[in-house]
Structure 1
């Protein structure tokens, strides 16, 4: 299957993408991984991306599209893939359609993870990270530490990242609504969108997603 995963920040796309890719035996292709791999390997696209990033500029669509094209052409993606973070706007969606047409394939589904905006803010703004670079993450509501402000594992100080502050989260949501959300209507016009609630336990969301994708599994190109 060839799937695009969409949803607002805090919808749990990364978590669900990993589970779904494993269950469907297809590679999980995330924009973040693409950038890290290309930059660490010193590819031409990676060097271009790094130039823009160092200058504090947005990486042009053509660079991101080029990275995605190269990754989708790898042998492990021949029978399908799950795209997470790409396409991010209408231009990238149109480019993806072109890439798939060239290869004689098509998308099977666009899985839309739906989460109320207040829940997104609650999920992200409640996160607390350990300063000791241990990677331990807590949440003031869902997974609170035993002692407020202290990591249960290593005793390090817990803090809230700038990106997780409520005002920043709401700005990220505005960008999502403006730039990325329109691709949902773009794909609805192609009959590809399946929408599920991303509320509840991770396993429950995965079950809903697998059931929704099961209806799309019989489409041409699966």
Structure 2
């Protein structure tokens, strides 16, 4: 059973890398941001709370994040293990994680703040089907329209310059110290998050001693 955590600042690609790793290794991917976005799209009580928080430019509370992750892990559907991104966000959560689970590795995707700003402020999303786009390297075929359903694309409500600066501050002040706690267990692996997706995935697998990643088109 494998248990991995992928950490990185907003826009570092941790969700994408977690999905690729989980799919090939038959692991359960637990993406905190994905869970919140699903609740917002489906108009749940939690979704309304998250939407109100994002509308003010604030960050979702650590308590809510912790509650969501604990509830998800209690489902115990991760027979072969899990890969989680977006958690832990502070020292207390990291301590809980180390006490509750014997982690195999923590992957830290390194990305300079300037590149974070460039990536995040270029993101677009389809509010109808949830398809994600990025105007840097994954543009829709028709400008401003979803390739899947044709709906007009929008910017995520939390992808504003103000909200991004708040997330960067939060990451550097609270999340970076989490890495220091994990480093005591010698499970942290730093990986450059700037190269293309496939290269980053292979760098992750190399540092974990796993077989190389082969894109679906090349199989």
Same fold (TM over 0.5): yes
Matching residue of 1:184: 179
Q: Cα offset for 1:124?
A: 1.2
Pairing 1:107–2:108 present: no
Quick check: 1:136–1:151 contact (8 Å CA) kept in 2? Answer: no
Superposed, 1:62-141 pairs within 5 Å as 62-100=63-101, 106-129=102-125, 135=131, 137-139=133-135, 141=136
Q: In structure 1, list runs of 5 or more residues that go unmatched.
A: 41-45, 101-105, 216-222
Structure 2 residue matching 1:19: 3-state secondary structure: helix
Quick check: 1:30–1:85 contact (8 Å CA) kept in 2? Answer: yes
Question: CA-atom RMSD, angstroms?
Answer: 3.6
Pairing 1:31–2:27 present: no
Offset from partner CA, 1:27-73 (integer Å, 9 cap, x none): 11122355578899xxxxx96x5696587497664554344234324
Quick check: 1:72–1:81 contact (8 Å CA) kept in 2? Answer: no
Relative to the length of structure 2, the TM-score reads: 0.74
Pairing 1:17–2:18 present: yes
Superposed, 1:163-174 pairs within 5 Å as 163-174=158-169
Quick check: 1:11–1:120 contact (8 Å CA) kept in 2? Answer: yes
Quick check: 2:9–2:171 contact (8 Å CA) kept in 1? Answer: yes
Quick check: 2:126–2:146 contact (8 Å CA) kept in 1? Answer: no
Alpha-carbon distance between aligned partners in 1 of 2:71 and 2:79, rounded to the nearest angstrom: 12
Of 122-131 and 180-189, deviating more is 122-131
Larger radius of gyration: 1
Quick check: 1:5–1:82 contact (8 Å CA) kept in 2? Answer: yes
Q: In structure 2, list runs of 5 or more residues that go unmatched.
A: 211-219
Quick check: 1:109–1:194 contact (8 Å CA) kept in 2? Answer: yes
Alpha-carbon distance between aligned partners in 2 of 1:186 and 1:79, rounded to the nearest angstrom: 26
